[in-house]
Structure 1
Amino acid sequence: MSDQSEFFAYGYRFAALDDVKQAQLEHQEQVYFETKLPREDAHKMLAIYDKILDEKIFVTPVGWSFLLKMQENLRHLNVEEDKIRPIPVYATFTHNPNSENSALRQRITTPEKRKEGNAGIRISIFLNVALCILVIAMFVISLNSNNPNILNYKSNLENKYAAWEQELTDRERVVRQKEADLLEGPEAESGEKAETNE
């Protein structure tokens, strides 16, 4: 574990190094705001204070102390107390084992919930396997189907055109045969007529 001196910043001791870094950022923003604040204009100062609260710029005690100074400046500028919004603090500072929060934490971390989570993972894996099998079955059906689709359209079209070509070749042969018969028929008749005239 790190040395505890790393967790000190601006008169506060923090539980984590990330909180120290956040406090340092808030101190830099505090310095910036102090140079830019309109100290004599109550309306503008109140608007800046409200904007800082809305954007949740300050979340550590370092920033909250700056907000307390701003509240005091607003009071000195005779801003009504009900117009000065309270500083929101989203942290719990007391530990009461009998409180609702601890009961809620215990409900969240019970082993039964973990078992339900494992069951959910098993169901998810089962459903994923079933869906994969269905997708593979759809591909097999699509590949073996006679109807053209994106998987077998080339072979289906080649087969269809080959069948058409064979059919046209057969018809052409029949037509040529009939033409040959028709052409032979008048020559044969004219030859017979010539023989009978002689």
Structure 2
Amino acid sequence: MKNEARGAILMNSENNSLSVGGYLFYTERDAQVAWEEERKIEYLETHIDYSSPESIRYVYEHTIRERLFKTPVGLRYLQKLRDFLLAQPGTDPESIMDIPLYIVFDRELRGNTNPARERVAPSKKDRDKEKTRFTLSVILNVLLVGAIIAMFFISYVSEQPNVINYERALTSRYASWEQELTEREQVIREKERELKISQD
């Protein structure tokens, strides 16, 4: 089916025309979308029951909600369904959904919908300001990394136990306690010896 669409559009583009359903499209892609919508319309027409206005209403509202038709070809078909529903006796025109258009027609509005950044190149002053900010950011990051390294070095060299040097600090503390205990034991033994000698 895609190849058929391409063939129909290419055949038209050979005649310098991207015409589908009586509409001349600007791009091949738009013409292909319109051609696909034309195929959808043909399918719906073979399966739709015009004797049941409720089924027509369902198809109409469903195609609007799902945005199945975007080109004038599909929108014309939606208008046909809308006119059919409005022609039914007892139909309230307010109860029938309007056909939404998802395009901007005013050139000024279309230009405003594009972000300004795409339309206007930044000035030299803005580029210089941006470059200065980037340089300042790099310098601050280097200083912060230096401060972090200095904090780790101070923590490592410090006598107070911390996450980095806790093993060394605890080993040193226990070693000094052990030495102090052995010295006290020696003093106590010497006192015991003196007392034993003096009691004998």
Q: Is the 8 A contact 1:30 1:66 kept in 2?
A: yes
Q: Which residue of 2 aligns with 1:196?
A: none
Cα distance in structure 2, aligned partners of 1:182 and 1:42: 118
Aligned length in residues: 179
Q: Give, as a single letter, the amino acid of the residue that structure 2 aligns with 1:62.
A: V
What percent of counterpart residues are identical? 20
Q: Which residue of 2 aligns with 1:5?
A: 13
Q: Is the 8 A contact 1:40 1:77 kept in 2?
A: no
1:174 corresponds to 2:183: yes
1:15 corresponds to 2:22: no
Q: Which residue of 2 aligns with 1:90?
A: 102
Cα distance in structure 2, aligned partners of 1:102 and 1:26: 25
Q: Shift in Å at residue 145 of structure 1?
A: 3.8
1:51 corresponds to 2:62: yes
Cα distance in structure 2, aligned partners of 1:160 and 1:129: 37
User: What is the aligned-residue RMSD (CA, Å)?
Assistant: 3.8
Q: Give, as a single letter, the amino acid of the residue that structure 2 aligns with 1:175.
A: R
Cα distance in structure 1, aligned partners of 2:129 and 2:100: 38
Q: Shift in Å at residue 104 of structure 1?
A: 4.7
Work out which of the two has the higher radius of gyration on C-alpha atoms and give 1 or 2.
1
Q: Shift in Å at residue 19 of structure 1?
A: 1.9
Picking from 74, 81, 84, the partner of 1:63 is 74
Structure 1 residues 46 and 103, CA gap change in structure 2 (3 angstroms)? closer
Q: Is the 8 A contact 1:26 1:58 kept in 2?
A: yes
Structure 1 residues 106 and 158, CA gap change in structure 2 (3 angstroms)? closer
Q: Shift in Å at residue 60 of structure 1?
A: 0.9
Structure 1 residues 119 and 62, CA gap change in structure 2 (3 angstroms)? farther
Q: Give, as a single letter, the amino acid of the residue that structure 2 aligns with 1:81.
A: P
